[in-house]
Structure 1
């Protein structure tokens, strides 16, 4: 296993040793596992280490992969062929239809969370980097966090800036201020 990913697993394992408080606000139950975008494949290859750490801590694990969420949603759209012929039309698509994508995605995620997760479950979101340029990760997190009774773990390829508590997806977009618990691959 890559040393950076191993360090992130170690930070996650250590975080799980702290007993879960009841009655926390939804934002206090969100964890961002922040890693370098270059480590995406390594993290994916070792995601079972996170599942194992979760199970060893006596918790349940539910992995939700968003990697294909947008292509699957787009394939179901009536006017998809027109957008594929002229992708520039997607610029106008940004406001209404893409907010529909986020709404549909959060509805699907919440349905799975409600039926498959309980108060001792870590719900892990993987593949959030594929939302870049399509939807904001913060919108998806905001849309599902209340449905998660246990903890919401977001595998986040990007940066965390502790001085102002901002996150930047893929180190490219302006960051947003979010009060989730950051896990970093540090010594």
Structure 2
């Protein structure tokens, strides 16, 4: 009886430790999305692009669905509010959540395919389906913000001018995600990622 209680107690402590790690990681990624969106900016001919999208996608690689959706959506939404663009926050929340869900749908597909022993086509070590997921995420993000700006401004022509910048921003975010995740998955942290290329 004593051994059972000890085992139960140990299991409970382990679950609490795991939950604490998940919550801390989610909070950290939420903050990183906000910080990268607000402060990590690269000037270009069209104005500037921020690096927030890269951290939204990185959250999708590191965290389980509901936590990744929270980090990506809330982190980006808070950046809008902090920057004085609160009217954009609800749109950003939805756009980033769907962005996370799009790529994780493909992550799940790849993981399941690998677990069934099926071949995974890759380009330079990156699964083709993963790259395709980023392309879809870029297209969704650009379309989402075009629609959002159309509703907010009441003008469906002017938002076209922002499309190239949004494409560049989301594309750069995808590249950053690949570079950072490839590096991190070689460390001990990589073993706890939601999506792990090393298992494919």
- TM-score grouping bracket, smaller chain normalisation: 0.3 to 0.5
TM-score w.r.t. length of structure 2 = 0.38
TM-score w.r.t. length of structure 1 = 0.40
Relative to its length, the structure with more helix (as a share) is 2
* Higher gyration radius (CA): 2
Relative to its length, the structure with more strand (as a share) is 1
Q: Which has the higher contact order (CA 8 A, sep 6+)?
A: 1
